[in-house]
Structure 1
Amino acid sequence: MAATGVAIGVIFLVQMVVGVLGNFSLLCHYLFLHLTGCKLRFTDWIMQHLVVANLLTLLCNGLQQIMGAFGLKNFLDDLGCKLLVYLHRVGRNVIMNSTSFLSVFQVITISPKSSRWTNLRLKSPSFIASCVSLSWILSFTINIAFPMDLTSRWSHRNITSLKGFGSKSLDMFHAVLLTGTDVMFMKLILCSSGYLISILYRHNQRMKHIHRNNSPPRSSPESKATKTILLLVSTFLCFYTRSCLFQVNLALMYNPDEFMVNLSALSSVFGGFPVVSPFLIMSLGSRSDIRK
């Protein structure tokens, strides 16, 4: 086995182990808070969906890539291979959807208390809850074509033979549908993030004016939560952009070498966002924001 293949396999293995441990630890943390009677913020409920989607993508994608990199014999049949591809795509979509819902819900939460926002703020928990639930249904539905159209059998060279997880075998309608949903949720993320930044900026300016002759102002729990979500969303956008650039570069290459294929595979699943995001949430989240 080539040294490059071993190195790639080790990177995939470390990435999957670290990501699974981080997301599973965060999931256990939320479960412990629920069992002890703590009242979680609604954004924590959305983050639980994000954690589940992270685990789904890491396990499904990591298993394929690790076995392909180490040249291990395939122990799954054709149906098992297609199921991994399908669940990976579902988790990928839910990650994007949950990230957009986090930023949108935070916009509604901290927006000025004007008459047009009041009703929406009161209804937003049930509205976002329905949207998150529907996002799973939508993800399961629009990705059903992946296992149907995947004609290549998973072998020990699955990274090359399934380049892009069979995306090149999709028909035009399905490709447009997938692209359209991605674009829609990316617009939600960008617009809500920009609005959050403007709200935080105006809030900081007011606080500086009020406290200019007093002690330095302390950040409110809402401000801390907003900054946490902004950092999480910014990290997602950075990884997503890098992943897209690698995928586009790979698609434009007539005969990509093994190094470019492996590099593109390493940047898949939003370039490692499922690995980094739980540690961001754990490091920036505050127990003081969770009320009993």
Structure 2
Amino acid sequence: MSSIRTIGFIGYGAMASLMGRNLIQAGHDVVAYTPSGRSNGAEADVPMLASPRLVAEKSDAIILCVPNDEAENRTLHGEDGLLAGLRHSQLVLDTSTVSPEQADHLAALLKERGVAVLDTPMSGSTPEAEKGALIMLVGGPEDTVERARPILDCIGRITIHAGPAGSAARLKLVVNGIMGGTLNIIAEGIAYGLASGVERDVLFDALQELAVISPHHKRKIGMGQERNFPSQFPTRLMSKDMGLLLEAGRRCGVPMHGMAAASQNLAFSSRHHADDDYSALIAQMEQNIANR
């Protein structure tokens, strides 16, 4: 094992708690902070500390896993914030899906303090997190990537070094945009098939056989067929990520008409299925045609 013994989490929800379990199995000690003092709605199986500052003070490396820019900034500042407890040369990995501007801001902020930081958003949902099979997207200096590799190898099956700081945050929006955009196309196709009279199970079973549909989306189609949407990736977070992508595309002058349509449908689905898996968009489309 590396010299990194204790790993502290800021945010310890569904994904982070599974990553933490794999790190513990690899011999690391894990501590965590959440505003509620709880993990994923339940009592945590690791020590829950009272502030981000305490997590920084008691850890060799810190993993951020929070839902958005605002949540991340709330954990950073103030006398009990993460910045108040960080030490020179400490290591911070930000696995959150945040805006490119937030990733750039965090990198600059920690560089000023002599703290090593990587943006390390992951591709994968809870099944991959449980198996330690996430794809880790990493932005930052090569030497910092190598320093973090023992952690990355515990929680992911592959690490993709996307480039300098902020690169992985940008790549993650591409990945999630393709996921959300493709799911929207599938949901629209299913809605047409059902409205036109194709028998429901025939339709869903046929889609499971097609090579053009990814294994990830076949899993989502299966949820749609069963009308059961365990929250592997909540709709509210996918909707948030689509919004981040559209704003980032606007800043770059890139038209994203298809992504915009998907974003609108996912935003509507989030009103009814915020904490369900984002594949609940299939159910929302099915409900829409049933009401006509």
TM-score range, shorter chain: under 0.3
Q: Give TM-score scaled by structure 2 length.
A: 0.27
TM-score, normalising length: structure 1: 0.27
More strand by share: 2
Q: Give the number of the structure with larger relative contact order, counting CA–CA contacts within 8 Å between residues 6 or more apart.
A: 1
Structure with greater helix share of residues: 1
